[in-house]
C-alpha cells in the first residue's frame, strides 16, 4: 500500500536532511531581510519558522466541501506568511500517500491532513515524526498511529444525532425540539452510512441510530429491509453511485410491492443525491419524495432542500474548521500549545488525540436563509 521500501526510506531521509538544511538557510535569509511577513501583533508567523512550508492534504475535489476547506486553509496560512503545498488526492489512497511523502521531502514543518483512509498513512506519520514535523488531523481522524499531534473536527456524534433528529422531525414523529409526538402514525425508513475507512462514519451512524432507536423499539419506526447494521448500510468512499445502486436494490427488494418508503437516513449530501436519483428513476415524483437527510450544506443539496426534494442537511462551517487548523499550526510553529476542547473522545486506537471540536447545525427550508446566507457562507445567488 505504501511506496516506501527500505531503500527509498533511506534516500528520503537523506533528502529530508538536505532540504531541512536548505530551508534553515533560506529562513535565516528571510528573517534578516523581512521577507517572512512575520512578527507583527496580529499573530503572523515569526521567529525561526516564519514563512515555513505547511503541507495541506485534502481527499478529493468531487465534493465541494473539501474545495472550500482547502481554499480556506491555504488562504489563512498565506495570510500568516506561510508557504502552502495544497494537494487533492482524487480519493485515491496511493496518491495521498505519495503527496504526503513529497510534502515531508520538501521540508514541510506541519502537515494538515484530511485523509481518505484514516489508517493508511502510518508510514508517512512515522517519517514525519522522525523529521520533527507535527501533524494535525483535519476533520477525519488519522488512526492506528501515535504520531498524530492534534485533531480538529466537528462533534461527529452530534452530527449523527442531528441527522436522526431531523429525520424524525421531517417524518412528524418528533417536534422541532426533538420531542416525541404522541399518536403519530408509524413510518418506514431505510438507513445509509458513510465510508468504513473514515472514522467519522461510525460516529455519524451511531449518533443517528441511538436517536432513532427508541422509535424503532416502540414500533413507530421500521427499517423496511431490516438492514440496520453499519456494515450493511456503509457506502465506500462516500460514493453517490454506490448509494444509488444500493437504493435501487432496496426499492426492488422491499418497495416494489406497494410498501411506502417514508424516509431515508443519509449521512452526506452526495449520497442523498444518489438516493434521490434512484427514487426518481423508479418513478417517485420529485414533489413526493421520502424525507431525506444529508450533511455538508453543499449548494446543490441546499437548492434541492429549497425546492422540496431533500429535507435537511447538516451545516458545518468549514471556515471555522480551517481557521482553527491554522491557529493550531501557527501555535505549534511559535512554540505554543494549541488550545483543545476535547481530550477524551477521539481515541485513534493508539492514543487519545487532543481535539478541538465545533458544533454542527441542522438546516431545513425553514432556516437556510438565517443559517447559510446571513452568516455569509452563501449568497442568495449561490443558491439560485
Ligand atoms: C466529513 C463529512 C463529509 C464526508 C464525505 C466526512 O469525513 O466529516 O463532512 O460529508 O466525509 O466527504
Share of the chain above pLDDT 90, in %: 86
Q: How confident is the model at residue 22 (pLDDT cuts 50, 70, 90)?
A: very low
**Sign (positive or negative) of CA dihedral 130, 331, 103, 120:** positive
**Can you tell me the mean pLDDT for 64-85?**
97
CA of 16 to the centre of ligand 1 (A): 32
Helix runs in the chain, H state only? 6-33, 64-79, 93-105, 122-130, 156-171, 199-217, 230-233, 240-250, 269-281, 299-306, 318-333, 368
Its pTM surpasses 0.75? yes
285 CB neighbour count, 10 Å cutoff: 8
Lookup: cell for 59: 481527499
Question: Is 268 close to ligand 1, i.e. is its CB under 6 Å away?
Answer: yes
Confidence at residue 178, expressed as pLDDT on a 0 to 100 scale: 87
Q: What pairing do the DSSP bridges indicate for beta strands 221-223 and 187-191?
A: parallel
Confidence at residue 47, expressed as pLDDT on a 0 to 100 scale: 74
**Can you tell me the mean pLDDT for 156-161?**
98
Question: Is 162 close to ligand 1, i.e. is its CB under 6 Å away?
Answer: no
CA of 237 to the centre of ligand 1 (A): 10
Q: Locate cell 443559517: which residue?
A: 371
- Residue with more model confidence, 31 or 375: 375
**Can you tell me the mean pLDDT for 127-132?**
98
Per-residue pLDDT for 175 more than 60? Answer: yes
Q: How confident is the model at residue 16 (pLDDT cuts 50, 70, 90)?
A: very low
Confidence at residue 46, expressed as pLDDT on a 0 to 100 scale: 61
CA of 135 to the centre of ligand 1 (A): 20
- Main-chain dihedrals φ then ψ at residue 289, nearest 5 degrees: -80, 160
Q: How confident is the model at residue 39 (pLDDT cuts 50, 70, 90)?
A: very low
Question: Is 313 close to ligand 1, i.e. is its CB under 6 Å away?
Answer: no
Confidence at residue 177, expressed as pLDDT on a 0 to 100 scale: 86
Burial of 232 per CB tally in 10 Å (0-12, 13-18, 19+): middle
Per-residue pLDDT for 298 more than 90? Answer: yes
- Smallest CA-to-CA distance from 150 within 322, 346, 323, 319 is with 346
Amino acid at each position: 500500500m505504501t511506496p516506501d521500501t527500505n531503500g527509498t526510506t533511506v534516500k528520503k531521509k537523506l533528502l529530508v536532511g538536505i532540504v531541512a538544511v536548505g530551508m534553515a538557510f533560506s529562513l535565516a535569509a528571510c528573517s534578516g531581510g523581512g521577507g517572512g511577513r512575520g512578527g507583527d501583533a496580529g499573530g503572523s508567523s515569526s521567529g525561526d519558522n516564519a514563512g515555513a512550508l505547511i503541507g495541506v492534504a485534502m481527499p478529493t475535489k468531487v465534493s465541494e466541501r473539501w474545495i472550500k476547506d482547502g481554499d480556506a486553509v491555504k488562504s489563512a496560512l498565506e495570510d500568516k506568511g506561510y508557504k502552502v503545498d495544497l494537494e487533492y488526492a482524487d480519493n485515491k489512497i496511493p496518491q495521498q500517500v505519495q503527496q504526503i511523502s513529497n510534502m515531508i521531502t520538501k521540508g514541510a514543518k506541519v502537515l494538515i491532513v484530511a485523509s481518505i483512509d484514516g489508517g493508511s498513512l502510518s508510514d508517512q506519520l512515522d517519517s514525519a515524526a522522525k523529521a520533527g514535523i507535527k501533524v494535525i488531523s483535519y476533520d477525519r481522524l488519522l488512526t492506528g498511529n501515535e504520531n498524530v499531534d492534534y485533531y480538529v473536527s466537528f462533534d461527529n456524534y452530534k452530527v449523527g444525532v442531528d441527522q436522526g433528529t431531523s429525520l424524525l422531525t421531517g417524518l412528524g414523529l418528533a417536534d422541532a425540539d426533538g420531542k416525541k409526538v404522541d399518536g403519530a402514525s408509524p413510518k418506514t425508513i431505510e438507513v445509509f452510512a458513510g465510508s468504513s475507512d473514515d472514522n467519522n462514519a461510525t460516529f455519524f451512524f451511531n449518533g443517528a441510530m441511538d436517536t432513532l432507536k427508541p422509535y424503532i423499539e416502540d414500533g413507530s419506526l421500521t427499517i423496511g429491509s431490516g438492514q440496520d447494521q453499519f456494515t450493511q448500510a456503509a457506502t465506500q468512499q462516500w460514493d453517490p453511485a454506490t448509494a444509488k445502486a444500493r437504493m435501487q436494490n432496496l426499492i426492488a427488494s422491499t418497495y416494489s410491492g406497494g410498501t411506502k418508503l417514508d424516509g431515508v437516513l443519509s449521512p452526506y449530501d452526495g449520497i442523498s443525491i444518489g438516493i434521490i436519483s434512484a427514487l426518481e428513476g423508479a418513478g417517485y415524483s420529485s414533489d413526493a419524495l421520502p424525507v431525506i437527510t444529508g450533511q455538508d450544506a453543499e449548494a446543490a443539496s441546499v437548492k434541492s432542500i429549497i425546492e422540496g426534494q431533500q429535507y435537511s442537511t447538516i451545516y458545518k462551517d468549514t471556515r471555522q474548521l480551517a481557521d482553527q487548523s491554522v491557529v493550531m499550526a501557527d501555535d505549534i510553529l511559535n512554540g505554543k500549545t494549541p488550545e483543545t476542547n476535547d481530550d477524551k473522545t477521539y481515541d485513534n486506537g493508539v492514543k487519545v488525540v487532543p481535539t478541538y471540536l465545533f458544533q454542527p447545525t441542522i438546516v431545513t427550508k425553514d432556516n437556510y436563509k438565517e443559517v447559510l446566507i446571513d452568516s455569509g457562507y452563501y449568497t442568495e445567488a449561490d443558491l439560485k
